[in-house]
Structure 1
Amino acid sequence: MRKVVAGMQMSIDGMIDGPTGYADWVDSWSDTFDLLPEIDACVLGGGMYSGYEQYWSAIKADPRSPLELTGNLPTSEEIEYADFALNTPHYVLSNTLDGARWANTTVLRDAGDVEVLRRKPGKTIYVVGGAQTVSGLLDRGTIDELRLTIHPLVVGEGKALFATVAQRHRLQLSDAKSRPDGTVSLIYSVGK
């Protein structure tokens, strides 16, 4: 069975979005890009798909221009991920989307479809978000590993990553690294 890894960036108080609906404290989305050689499929929620597709398509279209959302130039890792995103199959969990603009994108209607995908031959499946998708797959026992980048910021108001988790989950710390900017990268194995 394929491994399923979820990677998320969050504030120290567990928020993945601030009050404006965006994590304006994240300077670069290259949190788990060291995983790219291991991944051959990505899963994300329908609520996140539009912004995700626009963000990475903008980088691919013009990697030398500041991004509209952040005002920052894309990092070299983000440029690499944009290539990866446009060439890697993506699966969007949604009951409302009729289709997707990216050619390599399939809409899934049920989280159980991720289990079907998991049983097919292939490499690691990367769950890129959002919060409800990560929480739902965690509750189903589908996620094997959580990779969290914790930013040294208390947001106070916003969208909590685990707000919709319905049950307790035991995690085993596999790795922890601090960075000069104060962020901490944590990798947890999820207990079954």
Structure 2
Amino acid sequence: MRKIIAGLFVSLDGVVEAPQTWHFPYYDEDMGRSVGALMDRGEALLLGRGTYEEFAAHWPHQNPDEDPMAKLLNDIPKYVVSTTLADPAWHNTTVVGYDKVAALKREPGGDIGMSGSPALVRSLLRDGLLDELHLLVHPLVVGGGQKLFDDATGRVPLRLTSSTTFGTGVLDLTYERA
């Protein structure tokens, strides 16, 4: 069975919203390697509608010869969990209902990666469909914004399987369900 593997940038106060406004001062080669390794594991990408719209507005317009992430994100099969997105314009994108995610895991192929999409991550974690949670915890209190977890997530026991501290103070943490 394929694994669903999520990776998120998060602040010390749990904020995951708009990391492009606060995470770049902490970006270094270590973080680049970590993010790259995580992205390389996925043979498909699972996104929530909001993250899809942000990515689709940016990545198709980037030069893949100058940015290898553009080639990866533009070429990889993308599944968007949405009830409102009808006609995705970004190449290689399929819209699925949340009820189809378990079936995606059973399809042959490699792991399914996730980037961002915190509401979807919460739902998958709550429902036992998320296999690995990678958090890049930044030594910063953002002070406001969408948090990774809320009361609706409920209790979900996790087991730390890997931890690394980067020179910038960012913690690279990997969790699986306990």
TM over 0.5: same fold?
yes
Q: What does the per-residue CA deviation read over 1:23-80, in whole Å, with 9 as the maximum and x for residues that have no partner? A: 41122584522033421111110112111122322333684xxxxxxxxxxxxxxx22
Partner of 1:102: 90
Q: What does the per-residue CA deviation read over 1:125-152, in whole Å, with 9 as the maximum and x for residues that have no partner? A: 1122311110011111000110000111
Aligned ranges 1:21-40 → 2 under 5 Å = 21=18, 23-27=20-24, 30=32, 31-40=34-43
Q: What does the per-residue CA deviation read over 1:64-113, in whole Å, with 9 as the maximum and x for residues that have no partner? A: xxxxxxxxxxxxxxx2221111111000111111121112000112x221
Q: Which has the higher helix share?
A: 2
Structure 1: how far apart are the matches of 2:40 and 2:10?
24
- Give unmatched runs, 5+ long, in structure 2: none
- Give unmatched runs, 5+ long, in structure 1: 64-78
Structure 1: how far apart are the matches of 2:152 and 2:166?
29
- Give the TM-score, by structure 2 length: 0.88
> Displacement, 1:22?
5.1
Partner of 1:149: 136
Structure 2: how far apart are the matches of 1:105 and 1:164?
32
* Higher mean C-alpha displacement, 3-12 vs 34-43: 34-43
Aligned ranges 1:140-179 → 2 under 5 Å = 140-163=127-150, 165-179=152-166
Is the contact made by 1:176 and 1:185 (CA closer than 8 Å) also made in structure 2? yes
- Candidates 158, 167, 174, aligned match of 1:187: 174
* Higher mean C-alpha displacement, 80-89 vs 22-31: 22-31
Give the fraction of aligned pairs with identical amino acids, expressed as a percent: 34
Structure 1: how far apart are the matches of 2:104 and 2:151?
23
* Higher mean C-alpha displacement, 122-131 vs 28-37: 28-37
Two-structure CA RMSD over aligned residues (Å): 1.9
Is the contact made by 2:10 and 2:16 (CA closer than 8 Å) also made in structure 1? yes
Structure 1: how far apart are the matches of 2:86 and 2:61?
23
Is the contact made by 2:6 and 2:113 (CA closer than 8 Å) also made in structure 1? yes
User: What amino acid does structure 2 have at the position aligned with 1:48?
Assistant: T
Structure 2: how far apart are the matches of 1:164 and 1:85?
32
In the superposition, relative to structure 1, how do residues 61 and 4 fare at CA in structure 2: closer, same or farther (>3 Å)? closer
> Displacement, 1:174?
0.9
SS at match of 1:137: helix
How many matched pairs? 172
